[in-house]
Structure 1
């Protein structure tokens, strides 16, 4: 479904100022150390996931994580693409399930930046830049990065770092946390700020970080293997990264927050060597995800990508031709040639009739070429046994809205939101459905929910006040609900201003 929307990015200083004012976003800086560390391949790892409680309880961490995520939604250029989101969550939750005693209900999201980066912060939030997929060769390589970030969260490295800093330099803790925020948003500036802020305690912080990174490497490797991914992927990815950027004066953001010295590559290889080398099947979804990102989020025009995918197919410059065919179909569709895109993707629909990437693409093509009924019938059939899948549900609701079947769409979306209350695409569709129904009050209410998810409570309250004015006086139940939501948002706003 081509319902992507990205928030307009704002200046780094503006984001930093907002984050510090709300006290809501202390993001986890994951600076991989250049120091050599002894390699541990055993399973006797310390259970320190509950450490750091004196500085930050799990409950407080989740509250801060939620507020941070709301701020990021309103400030970062995020990608709200259901099919990519489903893929990322599948990879992420596969690793989370393989970990021992995850401490948070993890949440994964995409950042629309072509830089190579990924980061984690309070409450189990993991952000992945689209650029990471442009660089990776396999799903296992992506999984190795995600597993590392999950390990940082489960081991509570940020809480432990805060606790250590409070014990050693309590007077500078506020500035240090601000520097950590900045290090995630702008790595070069953040690292420089940390060096200035920490002063004489700089070596202590570096040593503390080294210990955390080694620990995350060990635990991340265990989760990677337990989840069924290639243990050699981490070393392969690090080695490729180190070799490509060894002589570059300005390395990518990933290397500023995740330095990869030769010792780190060697350590990853030694850990992997306890497992036999074997062949892993090609992940079709990873290949399609990478092609989708190239076609739509690489910063290149659809015409350029159309030529690029055609060249790869013609010269057989791809290890998985189906992904190039899929990317070509997307590029053709985005360039305005839906009929050509249909012919291109037809073989994939036959080969992968239930693949979500292919279903999403053919749905867009059907809607653009006047085949809405065929698309609706296909999605209705799949929805019958996948009612909670975001790709199927959101595409299905979108088609129903376009065909003026708004009552059905509203029912489907409201059921979906019970388990997915933070899905921005669902809220956009719900708002559109209510507007098409002529239900102005609920249209404004859905808009208010979306604004609240971006920490914009003032605007959300304004929307709810409009909703109240549009609600008939005899609809007491809806009035009570709206008034309760106004009070809730006002309380949240007051709490933020008090921080």
Structure 2
């Protein structure tokens, strides 16, 4: 009898309750993520509290169901979209997200925040608390509160269970109408006029009802998000301010911000959010230094013209200012490294380390600059010093282990990875490094098993299964390792069989 992985039986029940094969397939496609909100009906209610819904949504689509489907979509996103795999950026966006989530008392949803390397201004929420942020949103917001306002809005979509409630209400809707609305929203992200035409081609009543539901969702997410901002210590007025900027951009540019394709901003919505925000006392809100540093790094990582960016930083740093200039200095040092101007970059980074010895990112950036300039010995010394000061830093561990492996020091790399994994879960990048460390040490079975976990976490289910099959043919595994391998292989095969049947 084929082993069934944990959660598959529940997924099967989701499928029966959903009772719409094509719609299920749409959820499995990352391109349909933004369109999900066109399917989400709900009833407006409440003021600033977060109600605990014991309605049809809970009966049809439980929180466990949401987590499983969200994880499935997330694996496909990692396989098909440029998810930023930088621990410095990951840490910032997760800390900001958790600060917002911790301000609300309701729910047990686990949240997962990630950044996609895309210069468009957009964000989206998935079932199970997965929140995606485009890099363009971070680099184009003028304050941390503006960024937090968009994230709070997306978090509210999850806490208010808009997807679950939408599925519960959509059970009686003809799937042809739903798919037409999905197609319209998807087309609209590329061409708004074509998207509107596609929606108009659907059943008029059905399509209009879904769009009305979307407007209601957006207003509820605004209401809950503004309260969340205020409780977390961010400026609630940042939400209407950012909406106004998006609205202005939509008037003056031929292609409006992507965020407007799935989050339509109207005059009444701006006015409503402004009215709610004005209920809170006015005060000044300062951006965290990590916001500026993260934005600077993303600008360097995503720019198509590093020389122009360098000129921009040079001009900014020539201006008189009283604020903390380390984000601009950091951005300039990074872009100098990217342009191969390593000596100048090194001087900038050493000054930053001297001024801010507690900031690990400056030490990691210096070590990477030393590697680029060919000074491997000095880079390893810099990493060794940083690791001694910050042994729990994922940023240091990843970069240091990678440098050790490039220097064929697999033994040392495994020790560091083992120490880290005793306290923290390994992510895809650490599994990839672990696989290489095992390979350098001649432990082929362990290497393939680690590589399988890397493939699985990046959405390559078939690749993960293939690596486990190859590992099973390797000699030398003990009883425990072989048993672990067999169980994992059965689990992944059962998941693949389940997906192929859908």
Fold shared, TM-score > 0.5 on shorter chain: yes
Partner SS, residue 92 of structure 1: helix
Partner SS, residue 311 of structure 2: helix
**Deviation larger for 267-276 or 153-162:** 267-276
Tell me how far apart the structure 2 counterparts of residues 467 and 311 of structure 1 sit (CA, whole Å).
55
Q: Superposition RMSD on alpha carbons, in Å?
A: 3.1
1:450 aligns with 2:440: no
In the alignment, is the contact (CA less than 8 A) between 1:105 and 1:124 conserved in 2?
A: yes
Tell me how far apart the structure 1 counterparts of residues 244 and 84 of structure 2 sit (CA, whole Å).
29
**Deviation larger for 81-90 or 237-246:** 237-246
The within-5 A match list for 1:85-124 is 85-124=90-129
User: 1:488 maps to which residue?
Assistant: 491
User: 2:345 maps to which residue?
Assistant: 341
Of 354, 357, 362, the match for 1:358 = 362
Q: Structure 1 residues 50, 424: closer, same or farther in 2, change over 3 A?
A: farther
Instruction: List per-residue Cα deviations over 1:220-261 (Å, max 9, x = no partner).
Output: 111111111111111221222222332333212111112222
User: 1:75 maps to which residue?
Assistant: 80
TM-score (structure 1 length as normaliser): 0.85
Partner SS, residue 101 of structure 1: coil
- TM-superposed deviation, 1:332: 0.9
User: 1:254 maps to which residue?
Assistant: 259
Partner SS, residue 84 of structure 1: helix
User: 1:382 maps to which residue?
Assistant: 389
Instruction: List per-residue Cα deviations over 1:283-311 (Å, max 9, x = no partner).
Output: 1111111111111113x233332233222
Partner SS, residue 98 of structure 1: coil
**Deviation larger for 358-367 or 268-277:** 358-367
Partner SS, residue 470 of structure 1: coil
Stretches of structure 2 that go unaligned for 5 or more consecutive residues are 1-21, 39-43
Tell me how far apart the structure 2 counterparts of residues 352 and 48 of structure 1 sit (CA, whole Å).
47
**Deviation larger for 189-198 or 439-448:** 189-198
Instruction: List per-residue Cα deviations over 1:56-111 (Å, max 9, x = no partner).
Output: 22222111111100111111122111111111001011111112223421111111
User: 1:14 maps to which residue?
Assistant: none
Partner SS, residue 246 of structure 1: helix
TM-score (structure 2 length as normaliser): 0.85
Tell me how far apart the structure 2 counterparts of residues 18 and 73 of structure 1 sit (CA, whole Å).
21
In the alignment, is the contact (CA less than 8 A) between 1:29 and 1:119 conserved in 2?
A: no
1:27 aligns with 2:53: no
The within-5 A match list for 1:86-485 is 86-167=91-172, 169-172=173-176, 175=179, 179=183, 182=186, 188=192, 193-197=198-202, 199-298=204-303, 300-315=304-319, 321-368=325-372, 369-370=375-376, 371-384=378-391, 387=392, 389-414=393-418, 416-417=420-421, 421=425, 423-472=427-476, 475-485=478-488
Tell me how far apart the structure 1 counterparts of residues 45 and 349 of structure 2 sit (CA, whole Å).
47
In the alignment, is the contact (CA less than 8 A) between 1:78 and 1:112 conserved in 2?
A: yes
Tell me how far apart the structure 2 counterparts of residues 113 and 392 of structure 1 sit (CA, whole Å).
25
Tell me how far apart the structure 2 counterparts of residues 161 and 99 of structure 1 sit (CA, whole Å).
23
Tell me how far apart the structure 2 counterparts of residues 50 and 227 of structure 1 sit (CA, whole Å).
28
Q: Structure 1 residues 404, 191: closer, same or farther in 2, change over 3 A?
A: farther
Q: Structure 1 residues 46, 101: closer, same or farther in 2, change over 3 A?
A: closer
User: 1:57 maps to which residue?
Assistant: 62
Partner SS, residue 137 of structure 1: coil
Tell me how far apart the structure 1 counterparts of residues 305 and 370 of structure 2 sit (CA, whole Å).
22
In the alignment, is the contact (CA less than 8 A) between 1:285 and 1:357 conserved in 2?
A: no
- TM-superposed deviation, 1:457: 2.2
Tell me how far apart the structure 2 counterparts of residues 403 and 338 of structure 1 sit (CA, whole Å).
21
In the alignment, is the contact (CA less than 8 A) between 1:451 and 1:460 conserved in 2?
A: yes
In the alignment, is the contact (CA less than 8 A) between 2:360 and 2:390 conserved in 1?
A: no
Count of aligned residue pairs for this structure pair: 472
Q: Structure 1 residues 483, 178: closer, same or farther in 2, change over 3 A?
A: farther
